[in-house]
């Protein structure tokens, strides 16, 4: 288990101690990111902790705190992330969101989080958001298109439920869905 550093400890460290500690933790963290990515877990993309030469001393101290937080989180291991996903999917299924599985878990959670940020101060019904997501998946609408036009899709949820899946391999376009909804009214 790598040594963990808290901000009050980092403030007392010399520049050389910070560099040494960051270098060790950075290697551990980036290996974990690679393992998670190889296992198909997480939505990290190309995120990696930066090299020391690209950071000022102040930035390096901040990054040491960040990488330290990262490595002490048990979810940042393959085993714990798989366990977390399994528990979350079971919980979602108990709430009636049976369309969520390992294949679309991250996409769904990112979609819900983005909508919460977008509608944070307004009333946000996560049940409606989940219904819109579920129906948009059946039809073949890209979740990004749904997020951009969420209010429209929420208003026309009953029509979406009656729509058939898109025949195109690219899915349904927003304009195409609007036309179909217009015909279903």
**Domain definitions of the chain by residue range:** 7-78, 95-184
Amino acid 51: pLDDT: 93
To the question of pTM greater than 0.85 for the whole model, the response is no
pLDDT at 121 over 60: no
CA-based nearest residue to 136, from 113, 156, 110: 156
State the CB neighbour count (10 A cutoff) for residue 182: 10
Which of the two residues, 138 and 69, has the higher pLDDT score? 69
User: What is the band of 8 on the pLDDT scale with cuts at 50, 70, 90?
Assistant: very high
Higher pLDDT, 18 or 183: 18
Measured between alpha carbons, how far is 69 from 126 in angstroms, rounded to an integer? 30
**110's tokens:** 């990112």
Residue 109 has pLDDT above 70, yes or no: yes
């Amino acid at each position: 288990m790598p040594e963990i550093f808290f901000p009050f400890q980092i403030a007392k460290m010399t520049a050389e101690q910070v560099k040494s500690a960051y270098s060790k933790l950075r290697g551990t963290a980036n290996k974990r990111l690679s393992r998670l990515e190889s296992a198909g877990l997480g939505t990290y993309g190309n995120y990696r902790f930066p090299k020391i030469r690209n950071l000022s001393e102040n930035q390096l101290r901040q990054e040491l705190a960040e990488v330290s937080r990262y490595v002490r989180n048990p979810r940042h291991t393959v085993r714990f992330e798989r366990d977390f996903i399994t528990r979350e999917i079971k919980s979602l299924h108990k709430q009636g969101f049976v369309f969520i599985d390992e294949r679309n878990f991250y996409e769904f959670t990112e979609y819900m989080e983005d909508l919460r940020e977008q509608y944070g101060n307004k009333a946000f019904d996560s049940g409606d958001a989940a219904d819109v997501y579920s129906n948009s998946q059946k039809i073949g609408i890209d979740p990004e298109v749904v997020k951009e036009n969420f209010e429209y899709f929420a208003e026309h949820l009953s029509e979406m439920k009656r729509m058939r899946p898109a025949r195109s391999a690219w899915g349904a376009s927003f304009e195409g869905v609007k036309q179909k909804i217009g015909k279903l009214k």
